[in-house]
Amino acid sequence: MTNKRDMLASLELMDIRQGDIVLVHSSLTSIGYVEGGAGAVVDALLEAVGPEGTIVMSTLTGWSEPFDEALTPSAVGKISETFRQRVDARRSLHPVHSVAAVGKHAEWITSGHERCDTGCGPETPYFKIKDMGGKVMLLGVDMDRNTIMHALEEAIDARYLRTVTIPAPTYIAGYGHKSFTLNKFPPGHRDFLRLTPVLRERDALVEGRIGNAAVLVMDVRAVFDIGLELLRDDPLFFICSNPNCNSCHWSRLLYAEEAIDYSMYHGNGCADRTCEICVVEN
């Protein structure tokens, strides 16, 4: 069993300090039994950074239905969903890449997301956290759950980023008769796990545990600096070499500037036509 006191001790060992700004990605089940459940995890995180700090969580959503700030649940776990429902939480307005925040800088971090050109690029909460010297915590999840990675892809204008039209979110007047364009949308598979050993080798990771969950803590600026160095040397660094991975195969052809026979992907994936991993569309 893990309780709030245990979590606070672990957070201190992982260099989470008063005044920190921390973007948290999490899995409640990975921790094991938590006395007080997801709410206790949230309380421990907020107490660890104190009144001068800020906790931020991605509250990512699907895009088949209009996004509603108050009603659309987070699709990335119980802790995130519990966090966004707090009365003191602010949620940014973006139909896919929204975040929720509580603390001193919550209003600044979440404001203006709806006016950004993309979901994860400049002036979004993800760049703001980097500019403010924030940290990322992966609590029981791997690097492939780190939304900051999409910000890196936007920074190099990766060729595989797409333009996608989805139903307009409810914060747009007359949304029921409108659509919304996602620019530089990051679909498909990427091997973001490749970054973890590099960060470890560069002494850019703090590692620990909360209950049964492995935890990684990293400085967002360091992730940007190291990640962009890798991507500028090789823009396909996060693209896997598995020939049976539709999206990565497609991404490599884009960079090779080869003609693409899209018929090769038809039926070559799962049965869910809305799956962003398997489906490749011209």
Q: What is the pLDDT along the chain (282 residues), one digit of tens a residue?
A: 999 999 999 999 999 999 999 999 999 999 999 999 999 999 999 999 999 999 999 999 999 999 999 999 999 999 999 999 999 999 999 999 999 999 999 999 999 999 999 999 999 999 999 999 999 999 999 999 999 999 999 999 999 999 999 999 999 999 999 999 999 998 788 999 999 999 999 999 999 999 999 999 999 999 999 999 999 999 999 999 888 888 899 999 999 998 888 888 887 776 666 566 676 766
Q: Coil, helix or strand for 208?
A: strand
**145 and 45 co-located in one domain:** yes
In the block, tokens 């796990």 appear at 193
Q: Say how many domains are in the chain.
A: 2
Show the domain range for 176: 4-238
Helix or strand run (H / E) with residue 215: strand 213-219
**172 and 122 co-located in one domain:** yes
Single pTM value for the model: 0.94
Tokens of 76: 């990335």
**54 and 97 co-located in one domain:** yes
**18 and 96 co-located in one domain:** yes
**98 and 39 co-located in one domain:** yes
Instruction: Give the pLDDT confidence score for residue 262 in this predicted structure.
Output: 84
**180 and 282 co-located in one domain:** no
Instruction: Give the pLDDT confidence score for residue 274 in this predicted structure.
Output: 58
**End-to-end alpha carbon distance in the chain:** 50
**155 and 205 co-located in one domain:** yes
Q: Which of 220, 238, 256 is the last residue of a domain?
A: 238
Instruction: Give the pLDDT confidence score for residue 282 in this predicted structure.
Output: 61
47-83: pLDDT as tens digits: 999 999 999 999 999 999 999 999 999 999 999 999 9
**193 and 248 co-located in one domain:** no
**135 and 207 co-located in one domain:** yes
Instruction: Give the pLDDT confidence score for residue 264 in this predicted structure.
Output: 84
**130 and 251 co-located in one domain:** no
**248 and 218 co-located in one domain:** no
**190 and 54 co-located in one domain:** yes
Cα(93)–Cα(108) distance, rounded to whole angstroms?
A: 13
Instruction: Give the pLDDT confidence score for residue 3 in this predicted structure.
Output: 96
